[in-house]
Amino acid sequence: MDILVWLIPAALALGLIGLAAFLYALRSGQFEDLDGAAARILFDDETPRKKDPR
């Protein structure tokens, strides 16, 4: 059962990383436009993009 000492924290840490990524994505507005995101991937940036100040 000693293995639990490693396995459980490792599993929880992985889960927490996922949760943190989800919360980050939510906060940075990545869930705002799911339809648009699906379409956007089909287009190349043909004009050179300027630096985004964000």
| Exposed e or buried b per residue across 26-49, where buried means at least 16 C-beta atoms within 10 angstroms of its C-beta | eeeeeeeeeeeeeeeeeeeeeeee
Structure tokens that stand for 33 in this block: 């436009």
Per-residue x/- mask for other proteins, residues 8 to 27, rule CB under 8 A? x--xx--xx-xx--xx--x-
State yes or no: residue 40 binds other proteins (CB under 8 A). Answer: yes
Q: Which residues bind other proteins (CB under 8 A)?
A: 1, 4, 8, 11-12, 15-16, 18-19, 22-23, 26, 31-36, 38-40, 42-43, 46-47, 49-50, 52-54
